[in-house]
Chain A
């Protein structure tokens, strides 16, 4: 009884095809794979950088793109103050550079092939990345499972993919998007201007036709703890909540 997961994935060389600044601290890197693979939305890749003296640095990054376009995958990488790999991507890497990558990896934080009920996605900062792959996969397959995204951000400007998310919401009445901004006033009535709490999760859940059967929460450990405490206070069952915590 194995969920689809990382069985074996060999290292391959990929080329940076395009770089897009998403927010002041997050850039998207479109990586052209030499050996394309099909991933499941929510999975990640490992990236390996090697210095001239043989020193190797490895980090995991979630895939932001939908599995339907697998020759080029999108990674959205946040610049971390002490991050030797994120610093390389933000300040040194240019289009045409080659890096080593392996994947797809991860067998738990996965978009369900057949959802048994509505889906609630909660994220903050670069934690939106695997959720973005899920939303894009849902769109690509024209799935209609009711889905709500609650995204926390300092300001609207700090929110990655916000234009695309607003466009998906406009086009698809079964997708609801709520933004919780913590350092400025919210602009839409469906948004919030405070940190995520139980009342807010309850509010977002009430906009779904029935209670969620799958909950995915991604962000820093502190954020995931706030958000899952909120989800539990809103009466959601802990066994349906999958979390992914950044910062390792």
Chain B
């Protein structure tokens, strides 16, 4: 349905091949968080890899930063309809985390858990083959607290609620267990190109 009198701004039409349906381009970096912004000191930071309920390996900040670093430039897409192009990240790929733990994909699904109690689920294959990382830097600087610092998950090919801020655990699960927003009406997978915003989209 064409809306009477609506033209839309010209910048919204730029690079439409890189902007998924229903999304619009932003230059700023909006912050959306369901609760207070946690304060996590790197001295206290721990990252745990679990298989089911059992911890398999734990890294402290120093140990985690000694893992191989990878840079990624990616477009990101938030379910609230903004997209941001060419964002620059640096961190440790999930492949490198698994290699350091001596594991190959233990199960088909992962539940990422965070310092603020947030969680989100991602199939293991979506984290493998350099598709995802635990990001430690954004635009060459330590990741700001508002954007999940000191460390967040980055899964840029899915809606950005999957890129969990303040991540502290990746838990491999046998079933696809719904996370925080997935329990509250959002799509279990969240592919922006298929506009999988809400449960039944």
Taking beta carbons and an 8 Å cutoff, which residues of A are in contact with B? 1-3, 5-9, 13, 46, 48-52, 55-60, 82, 84, 88, 92-93, 97-100, 105-109, 221, 224-225, 228-229, 231-232, 238-239, 241-245, 247-248
Closest 10 CB pairs of A and B: A5-B185, A107-B184, A6-B185, A8-B200, A248-B80, A228-B36, A248-B30, A221-B31, A92-B5, A107-B185
Q: A46: which B residues are within 8 A, CB to CB?
A: 81
CB distance from A171 to the nearest CB of B (A): 32
Q: How many residues belonging to B are interface residues under a CB distance threshold of 8 Å? A: 42
Q: A82: which B residues are within 8 A, CB to CB?
A: 9
**Does B81 lie within 8 Å of A51, measured CB to CB?**
no
Whether B198 is near chain A, meaning CB under 8 Å from some CB there, is: yes
Which residue of B is nearest A237, CB measured?
B36
Q: B106: which A residues are within 8 A, CB to CB?
A: none
CB distance from A216 to the nearest CB of B (A): 11
Q: Among the listed B3, B36, B81, which residue makes an inter-chain contact with A248, where contact means beta carbons less than 8 Å apart?
A: B81
Could you pull out 5 A-B pairs where Cβ atoms are within 8 angstroms? A6-B198, A57-B8, A99-B3, A108-B181, A247-B31
Taking beta carbons and an 8 Å cutoff, which residues of B are in contact with A? 1-9, 12-13, 21-24, 28, 30-38, 78, 80-82, 116-117, 146, 180-181, 183-186, 198-201
Q: Among the listed B6, B30, B184, which residue makes an inter-chain contact with A50, where contact means beta carbons less than 8 Å apart?
A: B6
**Does A98 lie within 8 Å of B81, measured CB to CB?**
no
Q: Among the listed B5, B13, B21, B81, which residue makes an inter-chain contact with A59, where contact means beta carbons less than 8 Å apart?
A: B81
**Does B35 lie within 8 Å of A242, measured CB to CB?**
yes
Q: B198: which A residues are within 8 A, CB to CB?
A: 6-9, 105
Q: A228: which B residues are within 8 A, CB to CB?
A: 35-37
12 additional contacts (CB under 8 A) given A5-B183, A92-B4: A5-B185, A8-B201, A50-B6, A56-B21, A57-B24, A58-B23, A88-B3, A107-B186, A108-B34, A108-B180, A108-B181, A241-B36
